[in-house]
C-alpha cells in the first residue's frame, strides 16, 4: 500500500521491528524483513533508520516504555503509605501475566546490548529511569538495588522457564527496601 503522507510510518516501522524480533529473534531483523512486516517500501526503513542498530535502539526504547508505564501508573510511587515491595512484586506479576512472549521479547532487546554497544546507553536509560522513579520512595542506592533484583528475578524466570513467584519477589524486595 502506497502512502504519500504517512506521519505514523516511523512508529509503524518500530512496531514492525518489534514483531520481527519477536517472531525471528535479533538474527531475523533486517531492513527488508521490517519493511515487509510494516508494509512499507524498503527505502522507508533506511530513510528513518540508517542502520539496524538505530532501528534496534528505537525498538528497545519502545519496549522499555512498557514497564515504565506500568510503574508510573502504580500508586506505589506516589502513595507513601503503599507497600512498595508488594506493589513492585505485583507489577512484575502484571509484566509476566500480560504476555510472557512480550516479556521475553523485551529482555531479548535489552540483552542485545551485550553484543551491540550502540544499545548500551538505552539499556542504561531503562535502569536509570526506573531507579529514578523508585528514588521517589527510597534512597538512590536502594532504588538501584531494587532494579537489580527485579532484573535478576525476571531473568531467572525467563531463562529457566520457571513460574513467577510473587510471594518470593515481595519478600526479597522487602529485604532490600527495608
Contact 44, 1 (CB under 8 A): no
Contact 59, 18 (CB under 8 A): yes
The predicted structure's pLDDT at residue 5? 66
Percentage of the chain exceeding pLDDT 70: 97
Angle at 12 between CA 73 and CA 104, to 5 degrees: 55
Q: For residues 123-148, b (16+ Cβ closer than 10 Å) or e, as one string?
A: beebeebbbebbbebbeeebbbbbbe
**CA-based end-to-end distance of the chain:** 56
Distance CA 89, CA 7 (A): 38
The predicted structure's pLDDT at residue 4? 63
Condensed to tens digits (0 to 9), the pLDDT of residues 52-80 reads 999 999 988 888 787 777 788 887 788 88
State mean pLDDT over 131-153: 94
Confidence of residue 143 (pLDDT cuts 50, 70, 90): very high
State mean pLDDT over 126-151: 93
The pTM for the full model equals 0.82
The predicted structure's pLDDT at residue 3? 54
pLDDT > 90? residue 109: no
The predicted structure's pLDDT at residue 22? 85
Cα–Cα nearest to 96, from 145, 176, 156 = 156
The predicted structure's pLDDT at residue 66? 74
Distance CA 146, CA 71 (A): 13
Query: What are the structural domains, with CATH classification, of the chain?
Result: 1-50 (1.10.10.60), 61-177 (1.10.357.10)
Amino acid at each position: 500500500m502506497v502512502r504519500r503522507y504517512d506521519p505514523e510510518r516511523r512508529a509503524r516501522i518500530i512496531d514492525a521491528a518489534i514483531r520481527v524480533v519477536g517472531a525471528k529473534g535479533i538474527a531475523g531483523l533486517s531492513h527488508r524483513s521490517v519493511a515487509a512486516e510494516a508494509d512499507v517500501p524498503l527505502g522507508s526503513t533506511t530513510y528513518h533508520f540508517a542502520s539496524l542498530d538505530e532501528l534496534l535502539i528505537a525498538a528497545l526504547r519502545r519496549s522499555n516504555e512498557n514497564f515504565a508505564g506500568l510503574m508510573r501508573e502504580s500508586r506505589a510511587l506516589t502513595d507513601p503509605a503503599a507497600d512498595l515491595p508488594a506493589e513492585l512484586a505485583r507489577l512484575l506479576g502484571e509484566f509476566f501475566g500480560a504476555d510472557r512472549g512480550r516479556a521475553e521479547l523485551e529482555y531479548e532487546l535489552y540483552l542485545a546490548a551485550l553484543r551491540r554497544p550502540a544499545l548500551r546507553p538505552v539499556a542504561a536509560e531503562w535502569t536509570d529511569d526506573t531507579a529514578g522513579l523508585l528514588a521517589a520512595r527510597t534512597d538512590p542506592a536502594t532504588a538501584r538495588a531494587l532494579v537489580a533484583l527485579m532484573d535478576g528475578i525476571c531473568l531467572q524466570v525467563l531463562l529457566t522457564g520457571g513460574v513467577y513467584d510473587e510471594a518470593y519477589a515481595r519478600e526479597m524486595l522487602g529485604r532490600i527496601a527495608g
